[in-house]
Chain A
Amino acid sequence: AQSVTQLDSQVPVFEEAPVELRCNYSSSVSVYLFWYVQYPNQGLQLLLKYLSGSTLVKGINGFEAEFNKSQTSFHLRKPSVHISDTAEYFCAVSDYGGATNKLIFGTGTLLAVQP
Chain B
Amino acid sequence: DTAVSQTPKYLVTQMGNDKSIKCEQNLGHDTMYWYKQDSKKFLKIMFSYNNKELIINETVPNRFSPKSPDKAHLNLHINSLELGDSAVYFCASSQDPGRGGVYGYTFGSGTRLTVV
Contact = CB atoms under 8 A, between A and B. Distances in A.
Interface residues of B, number: 27
Interface string A67-108: 000000000000000000000101000101111111111011
Interface in B21-43: 31, 40-43
A100 B104 CA distance: 12
Q: In the complex, which of the residues A45, A99, A103 has the most CB atoms of chain B within 10 Å of its own CB atom?
A: A103
Given A43-B90, A88-B41, A32 B102 contact: yes
Q: Is the interface of A mostly helix, strand, loop or mixed?
A: strand
Contacts, number: 62
Nearest to A46: B104
Contacts of B98: 98-99
Interface string A41-55: 111111001010000
A10 B104 CA distance: 25
A84 to B, nearest CB: 18
Contacts of B94: 101
A46 B94 CA distance: 12
B97 interface: yes
Contacts of B42: 105, 107-108
Given A32-B102, A44-B107, A99 B55 contact: yes
Interface of B: 4, 31, 40-45, 48, 50, 55-56, 90, 92, 94, 97-98, 100, 102-110
